[in-house]
A and B are shown apart, each in its own frame.
Chain A
Amino acid sequence: QQQVKQSPQSLIVQKGGISIINCAYENTAFDYFPWYQQFPGKGPALLIAIRPDVSEKKEGRFTISFNKSAKQFSLHIMDSQPGDSATYFCAASFETSGSRLTFGEGTQLTVNP
């Protein structure tokens, strides 16, 4: 059972544009929602994370929007740059699981110059 669904599968954005990636989860026990960035041949790197007690978190050009009632969260990348081209994964976990993450399917982002 896929507990975290991510869309779109791929995304092409022009430089300077806004990239938006969406995720939906099923398990209401999840209480931690990170986003990871992965470049080809590398391990995922933590980008930004949010807990369900806040509706938005911003770090530089990256913003997470969280809608608890809809069980959805999204990543917004403002002023997208070619260097942002990578695969992005949303994930979810809950405290009693330790660090056990459930990942979305991933979104391959391409930012054209």
Chain B
Amino acid sequence: GAVVSQHPSWVICKSGTSVKIECRSLDFQATTMFWYRQFPKQSLMLMATSNEGSKATYEQGVEKDKFLINHASLTLSTLTVTSAHPEDSSFYICSAGKGGNTIYFGEGSWLTVV
């Protein structure tokens, strides 16, 4: 079964609104989680590293005020897309390490901004 769960699987929101995506590690604690964005037929692009109890580390070119990341507990990280626009429509995926280098990905969340 899945060890990393994302919710919702898909969401449609209106332009200008905010939407939150949750990432949970189901049977292990993850001090670090990662958020990726993937466009159709492209590779995964790392957006940010989510650190439990501290600020997220964003990759170059990713707007931290637009993509808010909160890692409030050892099993939950959230990504909030603020003031969403159609160009933010994408597949968002989180990952978490279970120990060593073994990394598990969530099922992804489709965001469509209309």
Interface residues of A, Cβ cutoff 8 Å to B:
32, 34, 36, 41-46, 49, 89, 93, 95, 98-101, 103-106, 108
Contact = CB atoms under 8 A, between A and B. Distances in A.
B103 A46 contact: yes
Given A99-B95, A99-B97, A101-B95, A46 B102 contact: yes
A87 to B, nearest CB: 8
Contacts of A95: 101
A2 B48 CA distance: 17
Interface residues of B, number: 24
Most buried by B among A41, A43, A100: A43
4 shortest interchain CB distances as A-B pairs: A99-B97, A43-B105, A32-B101, A43-B108
Given A45-B105, A89-B43, A103-B43, A98 B97 contact: yes
Contacts, number: 58
B44 A44 contact: yes
B43 A104 contact: yes
A100 B46 contact: yes
Given A89-B44, A100-B34, A43 B103 contact: no
Contacts of B101: 32, 34, 49, 93, 95, 99
A30 B38 CA distance: 23
B32 A99 contact: yes
Contacts of A101: 34, 44, 46, 95, 103
Contacts of B96: 99
B93 interface: yes
Nearest to A93: B101
Contacts of B34: 99-101
A1 to B, nearest CB: 11
A54 B93 CA distance: 31
26 contacts: A32-B101, A34-B103, A41-B108, A43-B106, A43-B107, A44-B44, A44-B105, A46-B103, A46-B104, A46-B105, A49-B101, A49-B102, A89-B43, A93-B101, A98-B49, A99-B32, A99-B34, A99-B95, A99-B96, A100-B46, A100-B49, A101-B95, A101-B103, A104-B43, A105-B43, A106-B43
